[in-house]
Amino acid sequence: MGKRIISQNRGKGTPTYTAPSHKYRAEIKHLKFKPGETITAEIIDIQHDPARNGPVALVRLPDGRKEFVLAVEGMGIGDVIQAGENVEIKPGNTTYLKNIPEGTYICNVENQPMDGGKFARASGTYAIVVAHEEDRVLVQMPSGRLKWFDPKCRATIGIVAGGGRTEKPFVKAGKKFHKMKSKAAKYPRVRGVAMNAVDHPFGGGKHQHVGRPKTVSRNAPPGRKVGSIAARRTGVRK
């Protein structure tokens, strides 16, 4: 019998493809504050989180509780950050998009109000507030795309710490191996064309080649759904 292709194995939910979330620090979200309220927190530590490639900051709240927040560039131990309606526009502070001036660099932007932050969370990334309207705010995403948001969506001011991470090469396979151990991914991953015909749709043949169209239908069965799935177009764009 042939082996399941990776997409089928991943869907089965085995430990190989399950993220080791028991090693993660916490679910990183914005500090909670009520309308009209402003919370002040002191940064007591900067730590590495296996769940992400950028550092996280451990903060102490006025009531003594400790929480993790996304670290931004320029943030250090002993600094004070604020979250609320009326905060100073400086790196590390969190407020509503409607209160952030145009041209400001922001990160950890919410998709819906109070969801904790969904966009621009990777190390070195940021979004830019472009324009305000009465019932929506235009933000330029890290990809360059422009997206409208609810004015009550929250965001943190600044650029996510850990920028330049991708500029350093892995150099050896062992470095990549240890990086992937903390992700929900399998490494190393064998190419389909290097397999036998019984193990993968791209396998087999006298030399390593796909041997059939790489583009498949969205409705293809799981054992065939490999390559360019439901591609709108293929080839080199000129």
pLDDT for the residue 128? 98
pLDDT for the residue 102? 96
4 burial type by CB count under 10 A (0-12 exposed, 13-18 middle, 19+ buried): middle
CA dist 59 and 69 (Å) reads 7
Look up residue 10 and give its DSSP letter: H
* 3-state DSSP helix/strand/coil % of the chain, to nearest 5: 15, 25, 65
The pLDDT tens digits for 145-193 are 999 999 999 999 999 999 999 999 999 999 999 999 888 888 898 999 9
Mean pLDDT computed over 104-119: 96
- CB contact burial 126-153 (16+ within 10 A = b; e otherwise): bbbbeebeeebbbbeebeeeebebbbeb
- Tell me the two tokens of residue 180: 């992937």
The pLDDT tens digits for 221-233 are 888 999 999 999 8
Give this prediction's pTM. Answer: 0.82
Start-to-end CA distance of the chain, whole Å, equals: 44
pLDDT for the residue 138? 97
User: What residue has token string 């919370």?
Assistant: 39
Question: Taking the C-alpha atoms of 197, 203, 209 and 211 in order, what is their torsion angle to the nearest 10 degrees?
Answer: 50
In terms of DSSP H, where are the helices of the chain? 6-12, 173-180
β partners of residue 215:
228
- Examine residue 113 and say whether the peptide bond preceding it is cis (omega within 30 degrees of 0): no
Q: What is the mean pLDDT of the chain?
A: 92
β partners of residue 127:
106
CA dist 101 and 115 (Å) reads 22
